Every structure is written in structure tokens, then in C-alpha cells.
């Protein structure tokens, strides 16, 4: 009986150690990034005088150095990197050729940053 007890104890001990090892090797669960602050983002269709569309995020619109993805209603996307203050700027020359410029339509904006997964999208209306 004594030998069986030692064997069972050894098996349980090994399973416990293996479980701890597996848990310590599991990658950390990343939280979702907060959504961009839509109140700090403007989308202007622009004019010939301004050189076309301008999409700008003021300071703290997104997390510093975040990857910002902007998608139009037809699925065209453009990506940029925010500055150290969480601001960003895209002009007409940065946009895909078929990017939506229709007044009143909305662009979907997300952010992704180190330590968190892509945020939920916020929608910002294209203005004049």
C-alpha cells in the first residue's frame, strides 16, 4: 500500500508541475484598445484650393504611436501611425484612388497599439 501511495503522490505532483508550467507559458491576454475619440477627429472633403480631402486627429484622438486604420463605406482602407501625442494627419495624396469623398458618408476609424488588440470602430462623417 505504501508503494502505491508514493506512486499516486508522484503522479499528482508531476501533473501539478506540468499544469503550472503550461499556465506560465501561456501568452498574456491582451485587452482591446480603447476606441478613438471621435470628437477629436475631423474629415473634410476639401476643395481644389485645399488640395482635396483632409483627415486629421488632434492630440489624444488615439493612443500615442498607435496604428490608425480608416475605412470608407466601400471597404477601401488607409493606415497611418499616430504621433507621440496621439494625433495624425492624412491628406488626399495619402488616400487610395477610389476613396469615398461623398459628403455625409461616414468613415470608420480604429486604432491598434502595443499591448492591446484592435479597438472597436468609431464613425466620423465626411464634412465640407
With CA atoms as reference, report the closest residue to 126 among 63, 27, 52, 37. 52
pTM of the predicted protein model: 0.77
Mean pLDDT confidence for 3-29: 62
* Dihedral pair phi/psi, residue 77, rounded to 5°: -125, 155
Specify the CATH superfamily of domain 32-125: Immunoglobulins (2.60.40.10)
Which pLDDT value is given to residue 48? 80
Q: How confident is the model at residue 99 (pLDDT cuts 50, 70, 90)?
A: very high
Residue 65 contacts residue 115 (beta carbons within 8 Å): no
Q: How confident is the model at residue 28 (pLDDT cuts 50, 70, 90)?
A: low
Amino acid at each position: 500500500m505504501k508503494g502505491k501511495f508514493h506512486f499516486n503522490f508522484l503522479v499528482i505532483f508531476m501533473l501539478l508541475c506540468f499544469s503550472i508550467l503550461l499556465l506560465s507559458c501561456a501568452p498574456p491576454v491582451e485587452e482591446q484598445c480603447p476606441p478613438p475619440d471621435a470628437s477629436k477627429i475631423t474629415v473634410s472633403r476639401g476643395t481644389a484650393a485645399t488640395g482635396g480631402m483632409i483627415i486629421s486627429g488632434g492630440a489624444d484622438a488615439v493612443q500615442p504611436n498607435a496604428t490608425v486604420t480608416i475605412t470608407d463605406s466601400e471597404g477601401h482602407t488607409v493606415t497611418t501611425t499616430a504621433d507621440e501625442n496621439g494625433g495624425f494627419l492624412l491628406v488626399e495624396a495619402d488616400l487610395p484612388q477610389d476613396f469615398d469623398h461623398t459628403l455625409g458618408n461616414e468613415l470608420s476609424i480604429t486604432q491598434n497599439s502595443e499591448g492591446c488588440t484592435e479597438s472597436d470602430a468609431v464613425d466620423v462623417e465626411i464634412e465640407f
